Amino acid sequence: MQRFNEVVDNIINQVKATSNDWVWSYHKSPDDLRHNRVKVIQEFLSDYETGKKSNRYAVGELPKLAYDHQQFDIALCSHLLFLYSDHLDYDFHLNSVGEMLRIAKEIRIFPLITLMWKHSQHLDEIVQYYTSKGYKIDIEKVEYELQPGGNKMLKITRDVI
């Protein structure tokens, strides 16, 4: 909460200064974005201690996760893979997607553009690689869009044993 409070005004002010560059559909305005973020962090923190006790929150770091083979039905990655394509290389993406597919039957990654709002330079090769391995790949449009063009999700299903 302390860290959130330290940075939130600065971030929202940057968004306000560039407000025409963002899509105001789910979040209606920079102030609505702030309001929604405050709500979310409060909800998260009010659940955190209980969640930790029941092992719903655990620390981990891609590209290696301490979970069993196919332990989950679904694994989600939001605003890390593809978004940070200019900072995280192709091998990191390949290994991370591979690790998510190891632990879950289906994985979903969002968004598919970079911080510079460009199509990720790793996406096509990752799609090609997993298609050639027999996985089912879908790129689906989603309702949520804040970065212009950031409204697509990659879904990979583990059809192979």
Binding-site size for ligand SAM (CB under 6 A) equals 5
Residue 62 makes contact with ligand SAM by CB under 6 A: yes
Smallest distance from ligand SAM to CB 57, Å? 13
Residue 34 makes contact with ligand SAM by CB under 6 A: no
Choosing from 58, 80, 115, 142, the residue that interacts with ligand SAM (CB under 6 A) is 80
Choosing from 29, 46, 71, 78, the residue that interacts with ligand SAM (CB under 6 A) is 78
Smallest distance from ligand SAM to CB 134, Å? 26
74 dihedral zone (left: phi>0; alpha: psi -120 to 50; beta): beta
How far CA 22 is from CA of 2, 101, 119, 140, 143, in Å, comes to: 27, 32, 17, 20, 15
Q: Report residue 23 as tokens.
A: 């899509």
Residue nearest to ligand SAM (CB): 78
Is residue 158 within a helix (H) or strand (E), and if so which, with residue range? none
The torsion defined by the Cα of 49, 54, 59 and 65, in degrees rounded to 10, comes to -170
Residue with token string 């091998």: 91
Stretch in the footprint of ligand SAM (CB under 6 A) among 4-12, 75-83, 100-108, 112-120: 75-83
* Residue closer to ligand SAM, measured from CB, 8 or 62: 62
Residue 79 makes contact with ligand SAM by CB under 6 A: yes
Task: Count the Cβ atoms, other than its own, within 10 Å of residue 135.
Answer: 17
Contacts with ligand SAM by CB under 6 A lie at 61-62, 78-80
